Amino acid sequence: MPAGGSSLFSGFRVLGLYSNHVPHALRYHLKHREFYVVTAVGRSFHTFNVNRLGIVAVSNSLPDDITCLAADRMLVFAATGRLISAFARNKEVVMHYNGHEQEVRLLLPLGDQLISADSGGDVIVWDVQSGEVYLRLHFDPATFDVSAMMHPSTYLNKVLLGSSQGALQLWNIKTSKLLFTFAGWSAGVTVLQQSPAVDVVGVGTATGRIIIHNIRLDETLMSFTQDWGPITSLSFRTDGPPTVASGSPQGHIAFWDLERRQLVTQHRHAHRTSIAGATFLQGEPILVTNGADNAIKVWIFDQEGGGARLLRIRQGHSAPPTTIHHHGNDGKNILSAGQDGTLQSFSTVHERFNKNLGSVNKKKEKKKKKGLTYEELRLPAITAFSSSVTRQSDWDGIVACHRDRLATTTWNYQRCTMGAHHLQPPGSRRGAIAVNITSCGNFAVIGSSCGRVDVYNLQSGLHRGCYGDDEKAHNGVVRGIATDTLNQLTLTTGSDWLLKFWRFKSKKLEEEMKLNAAPASMKLHRESGMLALALDDFTLVVVDIETRRVVRKFAGHHSNINDMVGWMKEHCEQLWSLISKSF
């Protein structure tokens, strides 16, 4: 067996990963005449074309997570800790730049040179082709902690450095001389951005101020104040209207008119987390943004009054996924529910088939009430769901349970929206825990924490009865529900250590089986009639639902079993054969 582990379980590709907290880099390809956006995703980066937000390339992995990105006409530069790597063709590492003693946090390509700054106060100018150090400057972080840098347009061999203390310095990197020091505005500099006008730069501060400053005359032309905290990004529009966009840690974007010196419009909750990067395309009314909410968004300015609308988006879960299922039998789509309260579909074929079914918002009539925030409108995250493709073109084919909520929700896969029904058992005061849709796609069987198991018609949303003589199927929490292929049997299990077999139509109890421990979850492989149960004693048992006997027992886990999956018989034979050969 290889020292690094079996290659049987090595990753093939990652689904639904688009961006993190690292600001994106923008490139323009002269031959293709197209803009590309580069975003970091852990130890590698992805390259997307802006026209369709289709993925173009995935880079090779680096030893550690990427901390900052930059790009020029030919190369993409990525910093991981103290190491800087240059990538060609958006994939292959062609050069390493090793000389920093602290973590690199800023990169700036400048012609044939690359400027980098680390957290220890070192600023190094590299020769891109040879990888040699051209110039090394050291700043005392206590007096001038480099927090931003830019190259002023038309200023040959000049770089402008901003500090977290508030001062700015203009350096000539060819002669290694300090040309001028700007006193600053008593606030740490977070962003420096060149404006379309020569000699004029935009300065973003940690107090939320945006200063438009003429560095040639050392004169402040105007300033704005953002009420949402520090400025995380700045970008100037270059296709006509004099507008600057600013990002905030709350995920809001503000657009300021430089002629009228006022706020034009704002987009609240443009991202669910801080705006990592915002960049206007050169000569186009297009803004590209990314954030730590795992989203890349393209905005177009074609609204009256200078407003923008969302043109394209690539978005995955902004919080860890909690439950994933294959949707359909072809293995091409995966439904995923996450802690961020969204239900999404990821295609294993191509990302253009991905779907976002939306966040779990309350009914539309409640949205009209004034004074409710976005968080107040959201429903709790999905804890369990079941889907069926049999009748999804006729009515809702997905039913989901939510954390600490009585009613379950239905979802429509084809329309990518929440469905029409909220299914709540009559008289129940406890939340829904488990759900299963029958193979015919007509019924949903829902189990609650009070022991009820109810049946609903998915077309009408009407209640069609419950299991148990006293309207309780189990004396405890229902842990799992399954129905067989022909809708003859319903199988339920609960915290009372019982596995029960019910007639689906008459809802009469046929048999019950006492287990060795309370089951945590269960899963039925309908084609083979094998039922797998994960027990609280960390063992797995497999029950044949025809003979109703335990046919297999598996022990070896030392902690809670989170999930299970079943294969067809021929796949299992291939899997076990491969494992036996590897030992």
CATH number at residue 504: 2.130.10.10
In a domain, 26, yes or no: yes
Stretch (H or E) spanning 333: strand 333-338
Q: Are residues 501 and 541 in the same domain?
A: no
User: Does the pLDDT value for residue 103 go beyond 70?
Assistant: yes
Average pLDDT (457-462) is 94
Q: Which residues constitute the domain of residue 417?
A: 321-514
- The pLDDT score that the predictor gives to residue 80 is 96
In a domain, 31, yes or no: yes
In a domain, 228, yes or no: no
Q: Are residues 364 and 425 in the same domain?
A: yes
Q: Give 466-489 as a DSSP string.
A: ESSTTS-SSSS-EEEEEE-TTS-E
Residue 50: which residues within 8 A CB-CB, separation 6 or more?
Answer: 34, 35, 36, 37, 281, 286, 288, 298
pLDDT tens string 433-448? 999 999 999 999 999 9
Instruction: Give the whole-number percent of the chain exceeding pLDDT 70.
Output: 91
Average pLDDT (400-426) is 89
Q: Are residues 344 and 477 in the same domain?
A: yes
- The pLDDT score that the predictor gives to residue 575 is 36
pLDDT tens string 46-61? 999 999 998 999 999 9
- The pLDDT score that the predictor gives to residue 114 is 97
Cβ neighbours of 535 (radius 10 Å):
23
- The pLDDT score that the predictor gives to residue 220 is 96
In a domain, 53, yes or no: yes
In a domain, 479, yes or no: yes
In a domain, 181, yes or no: no
- The pLDDT score that the predictor gives to residue 581 is 36
Q: Are residues 528 and 480 in the same domain?
A: no
Q: Are residues 375 and 358 in the same domain?
A: yes
Q: Are residues 366 and 470 in the same domain?
A: yes
Q: If we measure between CA atoms, which residue out of 109, 133, 106 comes closest to residue 118?
A: 106
Rounded Cα distance between 265 and 570, Å, is 60
Mean pLDDT of the chain: 89
Q: Are residues 454 and 370 in the same domain?
A: yes
CA distance between the termini of the chain: 6
Examine the fold and report which residue of 86, 117, 138 is the final residue of a domain before the chain moves on: 138
User: Is the Cβ–Cβ distance between 548 and 532 less than 8 Å?
Assistant: no
Average pLDDT (259-266) is 93
* pLDDT bracket for residue 322 (50, 70, 90): confident
Rounded Cα distance between 278 and 52, Å, is 18
In a domain, 199, yes or no: no
Q: How many domains does the chain have?
A: 3
Average pLDDT (351-359) is 85
The better pLDDT of the pair 373, 200 is held by 200
Q: Are residues 365 and 336 in the same domain?
A: yes
Average pLDDT (241-268) is 95
Q: Are residues 339 and 396 in the same domain?
A: yes
User: Does the pLDDT value for residue 570 go beyond 80?
Assistant: no
pLDDT tens string 463-504? 999 998 888 899 999 999 999 999 999 999 999 999 999 999
